[in-house]
Structure 1
Amino acid sequence: MDSPLTTVGLPLALGIIMFGLGLSLTIEDFRRVRQHPRAVFVALACQLVLLPIICFGIVLLFDLPPLIGIGLLLLAASPGGTSANLFSHLFRGDVALNVTLTAINSIVAIVTLPIITNLAIAYYDRQDTVSLQFRKVVEVFAIVLLPVIGGMLVRSYRAGFASRADKPVRIGSAVILAVLVLGILLDQRENIGDYFAKVGLAAALFCAISLVLGYVVPRAFGIVGRQAIASSMEIGVHNATLAIYVAVEVLDSTEISIPAAVYSLFMFAFAALWGMWISRRLP
Structure 2
Amino acid sequence: MTTAEIVSKIFLPLSLAIIMLGMGMTLISADFTRIFKYPKAILIGLTNQLIFLPIIGFSLAIVFNLGPIMAVGLMILASCPGGPTSNLITQVCKGNIALSVTLTAIASIVSIITIPFILAYALEYFAGGTDVTIKLPILNTILQIMVITVIPIAIGMIIRKYKRDFAKRMEKPMRIASTVIFILVFIAVIAANFKIMGAAMKQVGIVTLLLNSITMGLGYLTARLFKLNLKSAISITVESGIQNGTLAIIIATTILNNVEMGIPTAAYAIWMFITGGILMWLFGKRTKVTSK
Which of 93, 99, 102 in structure 1 is aligned with 2:101? 99
Residues 138, 209 of structure 1: alpha-carbon distance in 2 compared, 3 angstrom cutoff: same
Q: What is the aligned partner in structure 1 of residue 184 from structure 2?
A: 175
Q: Tell whether 2:266 aligns with 1:261.
A: yes
Separation (CA, whole Å) in 2 of partners of 1:80 and 1:171: 21
Separation (CA, whole Å) in 2 of partners of 1:270 and 1:18: 18
Q: What is the aligned partner in structure 2 of residue 125 from structure 1?
A: 128
**Cα shift at 1:113:** 2.4
Q: Is the 8 A contact 1:14 1:144 kept in 2?
A: no
Separation (CA, whole Å) in 1 of partners of 2:80 and 2:96: 21
Q: What is the aligned partner in structure 1 of residue 9 from structure 2?
A: 11
Separation (CA, whole Å) in 2 of partners of 1:126 and 1:171: 45
Q: Is the 8 A contact 1:88 1:95 kept in 2?
A: yes
Separation (CA, whole Å) in 1 of partners of 2:219 and 2:35: 18
Residues 274, 5 of structure 1: alpha-carbon distance in 2 compared, 3 angstrom cutoff: closer
Q: What is the aligned partner in structure 1 of residue 222 from structure 2?
A: 217
Separation (CA, whole Å) in 1 of partners of 2:219 and 2:181: 25
Indicate the larger mover: 119-128 or 218-227. Answer: 119-128
Q: Tell whether 2:83 aligns with 1:81.
A: yes
Separation (CA, whole Å) in 1 of partners of 2:15 and 2:263: 20
Q: Deviations over 1:207-255 (max 9, x none)?
A: 1101101100121122222211110011112222222233223322221
Q: Is the 8 A contact 1:82 1:170 kept in 2?
A: no
Residues 257, 166 of structure 1: alpha-carbon distance in 2 compared, 3 angstrom cutoff: farther
- Give the number of equivalent residue pairs: 273
Separation (CA, whole Å) in 1 of partners of 2:120 and 2:16: 24
Question: Normalization by structure 1: what TM-score?
Answer: 0.79
Gap runs ≥5 in structure 2: none
Q: Is the 8 A contact 1:71 1:259 kept in 2?
A: yes
Separation (CA, whole Å) in 2 of partners of 1:132 and 1:87: 31
**Cα shift at 1:48:** 0.6
Q: Tell whether 2:57 aligns with 1:55.
A: yes
Q: What is the aligned partner in structure 1 of residue 141 from structure 2?
A: 141
Which of 35, 41, 44 in structure 2 is aligned with 1:42? 44
Which of 187, 200, 203 in structure 1 is aligned with 2:205? 200
Q: What is the aligned partner in structure 2 of residue 273 from structure 1?
A: 278
**Cα shift at 1:106:** 2.2
Q: Is the 8 A contact 2:109 2:142 kept in 1?
A: no
**Cα shift at 1:131:** 4.3
Residues 142, 13 of structure 1: alpha-carbon distance in 2 compared, 3 angstrom cutoff: farther
Residues 177, 142 of structure 1: alpha-carbon distance in 2 compared, 3 angstrom cutoff: farther
Q: What is the aligned partner in structure 2 of residue 71 from structure 1?
A: 73
Separation (CA, whole Å) in 1 of partners of 2:230 and 2:146: 34
**Cα shift at 1:19:** 3.8
Residue type at the aligned position of 1:222: K
Separation (CA, whole Å) in 2 of partners of 1:149 and 1:92: 19
Q: Is the 8 A contact 2:94 2:283 kept in 1?
A: no
Separation (CA, whole Å) in 2 of partners of 1:35 and 1:185: 46
Residues 248, 205 of structure 1: alpha-carbon distance in 2 compared, 3 angstrom cutoff: same
**Cα shift at 1:43:** 1.0
Indicate the larger mover: 204-213 or 160-169. Answer: 160-169
Q: What is the aligned partner in structure 1 of residue 232 from structure 2?
A: 227
Q: Is the 8 A contact 1:14 1:241 kept in 2?
A: no
Residue type at the aligned position of 2:8: L
Say what the alpha-carbon RMSD is for the aligned residues: 3.4
Residues 21, 92 of structure 1: alpha-carbon distance in 2 compared, 3 angstrom cutoff: closer
Separation (CA, whole Å) in 1 of partners of 2:254 and 2:219: 30
Q: What is the aligned partner in structure 2 of residue 113 from structure 1?
A: 115
**Cα shift at 1:15:** 4.3
Gap runs ≥5 in structure 1: none
**Cα shift at 1:276:** 5.4
Separation (CA, whole Å) in 1 of partners of 2:153 and 2:181: 18
Residue type at the aligned position of 2:152: G
Share of identical aligned residues, percent? 29
